[in-house]
Amino acid sequence: MARYQSGWFNNIRRALLRLCCGMLALACGLGTHPGSAAASESNPATPEKSQGKTLLVFGDSLSAAYGLARQDGWVALLEARLRTTHPQYIVVNASISGETSAGGAARIATLLKQTRPAIVIVELGANDGLRGLPIAQLRENLSRILLASHQAGARLLLVGMRMPPNYGPQYTREFADSFALLARDARHPAALVPFLFEGFAEQRERFQPDGLHPTAAAQPLMLETVWKRLRPLLP
């Protein structure tokens, strides 16, 4: 973890100091952003409206193109790639800025019924970590999401995140380990992206002024990180 202390993790530390009285997770730490993927969720493509297979992206502001034009986000870039490589897939981005694992667990059943996805990418947990919520709660909620998706017949990809060292060694270790443990759970086996910011977390210029959300220039890097684990799931 030490090699990340000078990059994104230090950005989080500075944001925490600036906003310690203002609930980081809501005000800055992946909080709601007008015009982001909430709009995508409000009118999702459904199998009734198309003949393709659905790939459901179920995340927070990191997948909702927070602070960016929608077409610049990694999910939109994935959609554009799939139009060329796997045109049978339709991407539904049901990501909402500020979403926690509990919020995701509460709405996954409805989304599964609406979209009947062939693949579900779960990118949640960062807001739980920024709030310092219990690890057991995080794991239980993500497990519920994965299990419901698995039982619905979808192939699963779980996207991991990490917390900065100032949350304490035990919390940061257990948080990071949670994603690998969940991916290996025989009840809902999933492919795993260990860390969405792999390869650029220490590069301050890859983040927006809040120090938390990647810039447009970082989105292709995020896409490539996800693509490496998603590609084997695509027939």
Q: Give the model confidence (pLDDT) of 97-153 as tens digits.
A: 999 999 999 999 999 999 999 999 999 999 999 999 999 999 999 999 999 999 999
Model confidence, pTM: 0.84
pLDDT over 60 at 64, yes or no: yes
Mean pLDDT of the chain: 86
Distance CA(13)–CA(16), nearest Å, equals 5
* Best CA proximity match to 200, nearest among 2, 6, 7: 7
| Alpha carbons 132 and 234: distance in angstroms, whole number | 35
CA-based nearest residue to 121, from 179, 177, 42: 179
- DSSP category for residue 30: S
Known catalytic residues are 61, 210, 213
Q: What distance in Å separates the CA atoms of residue 113 and residue 103, rounded to the nearest whole number?
A: 17
At residue 201, φ and ψ (nearest 5 deg) are -60, -30
Cα 78 from Cα 66, distance rounded (Å): 16
In whole angstroms, give the CA distance from residue 230 to residue 222. Answer: 12
% of the chain with per-residue pLDDT over 90: 76
pLDDT in tens, 4-48: 445 555 665 555 444 333 333 333 345 444 333 343 443 444 444
CB 185 within 8 A of CB 143: yes
What pLDDT is recorded for position 31?
45
Structure token pair of residue 55: 């790939």
For residue 58, report the phi and psi dihedrals to the nearest 5 degrees.
-125, 90
Please name the residue ranges forming H helices in 86-154.
101-115, 126-131, 135-151
Cα of 70 vs its chain's centroid, Å: 15
Name the CATH topology of 2-21+36-42+51-233.
Rossmann fold (3.40.50)
Phi (first) and psi of residue 14, to 5 degrees: -65, -40
Q: Would you state the structure tokens that stand for residue 86, as one six-digit string?
A: 């796997």
Nearest to 123 by CA among 60, 54, 76: 60
Q: What three-state secondary structure class fits 90?
A: strand
